[in-house]
């Protein structure tokens, strides 16, 4: 399993000169790797995934043989990788769904949290994929297709503008630097490992733009946005369907990348994919643990519509900065 997120060219685009990795070699050949990015905030040492790198974790060669043999070898390799990790106040990554096991991390004191994505299998039969989409979403796609044209972009310019517009509508900061998006899009397009599709009407108005990348196993929806004034056109659903069809030319599986936010989860679910669980692993130092607990509490309150209490100690300001670094990386809360 070599995901696009483990590729050195991807890591170079996401964090040029800023990523590192621990590895295990046998006979001069790497049989296990675990990439990460080092960051520092107010003296805190963070080990995170690079920006927009939504799945990472250990990449290993478990070898041949019985399942038990391969599992035992994976445990051994994962332990060696963990032993080599630099000291840090926070290690946080979301694992690729094909990672053999999260048990070595659990045994070494990492917190393991389930996360959810939706995955469409069998892209070779697009008629079956279409039939699996909810009736309402299919009607939206058909209606949008009658008024919008789909254009294939060669840069991230329109995509970046649509992303800014979407986050701006929600009064949120874009969780990654636009320059990172530009580098990743350029790297994917240069290697035929991704596409950017944009929906435009007859007057030349851009309604939405979406981006996905793929490796040899699956395509990954990685983000996009739309013009808040034109949200009713259904451009986002139309583009998602077009991304699925485009991905079918390269792979047999489409991953919606995942979200635990109720509205986003419902939107992805309507495309008919199956639920797939993947895992986030986190380890904190003793001094960072209270801040991490506060961040988790705030995440739960935000998801449930709860408010925030006062924080006269200033811990919240420190936490916001650390949480911002986590959001900009691939490690989700």
Is 306's pLDDT higher than 90?
Answer: no
> Is the model more confident about 136 or about 264?
136
Q: What is the pLDDT confidence band of residue 216, given thresholds at 50, 70 and 90?
A: very high
Tell which wins on pLDDT, 284 or 328.
284
pTM of the model: 0.87
The domain defined by 4-117+278-328 carries CATH number 2.40.128: no
Phi and psi torsions of 182, nearest 5°: -60, -45
pLDDT of residue 42: 81
**Fold exhibited by the domain 119-276:** Aminopeptidase (3.40.630)
pLDDT band at 153 (very low <50, low <70, confident <90, very high): very high
DSSP lists the bridge partners of residue 24 as 32
For residue 132, CA distances in Å to 32, 138, 323 come to 38, 10, 37
Closest of 93, 92, 52 to residue 180, by C-alpha = 52
- Cα separations (Å) of 53 from 107, 190, 210, 250, 332? 25, 18, 16, 20, 10
**CATH 3.40.630.30 boundaries in the chain:** 119-276
Instruction: Provide the pairing of β-strand 253-255 with 219-226.
Output: parallel
Average pLDDT over residues 74-84: 96
> How confident is residue 260, by pLDDT bands cut at 50, 70 and 90?
confident
Q: Above 90 in pLDDT, residue 171?
A: no
Single out the residue of 119, 68, 122 nearest to residue 98, CA to CA: 119
Q: Is 202 exposed, middle or buried (0-12, 13-18, 19+ CB in 10 A)?
A: exposed
174 pLDDT higher than 70: yes
pLDDT at 255: 97
Mean residue pLDDT of the chain comes to 89
Task: Scan for tokens 């905030």, then name that residue.
Answer: 41
Confirm if 243 and 219 have CB atoms less than 8 A apart. yes
Cβ–Cβ < 8 Å for 37, 15: yes
Going 185 to 218 to 32 to 105, the CA torsion angle's sign is positive
**Predicted local confidence at residue 308, as pLDDT:** 35
pLDDT at 298: 72
Residues 233, 208: Cα–Cα separation, whole Å: 10
The mean pLDDT of 274-284, rounded to a whole number, is 94
Does pLDDT of 117 surpass 90? yes
- How far from chain centre, in Å, is Cα 269? 17
């Amino acid at each position: 399993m070599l995901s696009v997120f483990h590729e050195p060219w991807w890591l170079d685009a996401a964090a040029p000169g800023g990523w590192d990795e621990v590895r295990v070699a046998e006979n001069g050949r790497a049989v296990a790797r675990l990439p990460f990015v080092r960051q520092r905030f107010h003296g805190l040492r963070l080990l995170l995934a690079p920006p927009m790198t939504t799945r990472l974790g250990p990449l290993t060669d478990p070898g041949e043989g019985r399942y038990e043999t391969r599992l035992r070898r994976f445990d051994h390799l994962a332990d060696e990788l963990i032993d080599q990790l630099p000291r840090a106040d926070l290690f946080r990554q979301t694992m690729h769904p094909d990672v053999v096991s999260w048990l070595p991390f659990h045994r070494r004191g990492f917190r393991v949290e389930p996360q959810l994505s939706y995955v469409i299998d069998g892209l070779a039969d697009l008629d079956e994929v279409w039939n699996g989409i909810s009736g309402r979403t299919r009607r939206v796609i058909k209606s949008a297709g009658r008024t919008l044209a789909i254009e294939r972009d060669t840069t991230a310019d329109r995509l970046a503008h649509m992303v800014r517009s979407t986050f701006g509508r929600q009064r949120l900061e874009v969780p990654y630097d636009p320059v990172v998006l530009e580098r990743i899009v350029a790297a994917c397009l240069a290697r035929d490992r991704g596409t950017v599709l944009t929906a435009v009407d007859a007057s030349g108005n851009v309604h939405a733009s979406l981006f996905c990348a793929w490796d040899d196993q699956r395509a990954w929806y990685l983000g996009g946005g739309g013009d808040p004034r034109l949200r009713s056109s259904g451009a986002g659903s139309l583009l998602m369907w077009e991304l699925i069809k485009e991905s079918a030319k390269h792979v047999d599986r489409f991953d919606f990348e995942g979200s635990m936010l109720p509205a986003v989860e419902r939107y992805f679910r309507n495309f008919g994919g199956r639920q797939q669980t993947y895992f986030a692993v986190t380890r904190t130092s003793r001094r960072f643990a209270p801040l991490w607990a506060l961040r988790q509490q705030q995440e739960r309150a935000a998801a449930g519509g709860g408010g925030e209490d006062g924080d006269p100690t200033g811990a919240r300001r420190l936490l916001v900065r650390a949480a911002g670094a986590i959001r900009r990386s691939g490690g989700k809360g």
